[in-house]
């Protein structure tokens, strides 16, 4: 998925940048500016900021669930990102991401459908 159409930054690029940033011992708070600088890019119109924050937040969670980054570092970064996003359009996207249903198991039968859990 393209997160920034001005610079053609994808969610996969953001995920890779987060892996590299959050595995450093002095890992910075992964704000869009930090992630974009790591990708050697500079924001142009900043219209992607809310989606970038939401994508970063979601990717941090995914990486922690997959065991690729420390869950404690993940929780700390998410808490700091929430503080930075308070009273901005990014906060609404983060809140929407938090209630997005996640697949937690295979269905008992094909007709039953997947099992979801609200987070």
Spell out the per-residue pLDDT of the chain, length 119, in tens.
999 999 999 999 999 999 999 888 888 888 889 999 999 999 888 888 888 888 988 898 899 889 888 777 777 777 777 777 677 766 666 666 555 444 444 444 444 444 444 44
Structural domains of the chain, count = 1
pLDDT at 30: 87
Position of tokens 């890992």?
A: 27
Position of tokens 């929407």?
A: 96
User: What tokens were used for 107?
Assistant: 């269905």
pLDDT at 118: 46
pLDDT at 14: 95
pTM equals: 0.66
Range of the domain at 42: 2-117
d(CA 38, CA 95): 26
pLDDT at 97: 59
């Amino acid at each position: 998925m393209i997160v920034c159409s001005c610079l053609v930054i994808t969610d996969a690029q953001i995920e890779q940048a987060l892996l590299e940033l959050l595995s450093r011992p002095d890992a910075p708070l992964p704000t869009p500016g930090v992630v974009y600088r790591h990708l050697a890019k500079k924001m142009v119109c900043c219209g992607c900021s809310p989606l970038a924050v939401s994508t970063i937040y979601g990717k941090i969670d995914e990486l922690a669930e997959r065991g690729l980054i420390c869950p404690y570092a993940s929780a700390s970064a998410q808490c700091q990102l929430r503080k930075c996003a308070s009273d901005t359009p990014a906060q609404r996207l983060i809140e929407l991401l938090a209630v997005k249903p996640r697949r937690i198991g295979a269905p008992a039968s094909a007709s039953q459908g997947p099992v979801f859990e609200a987070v």
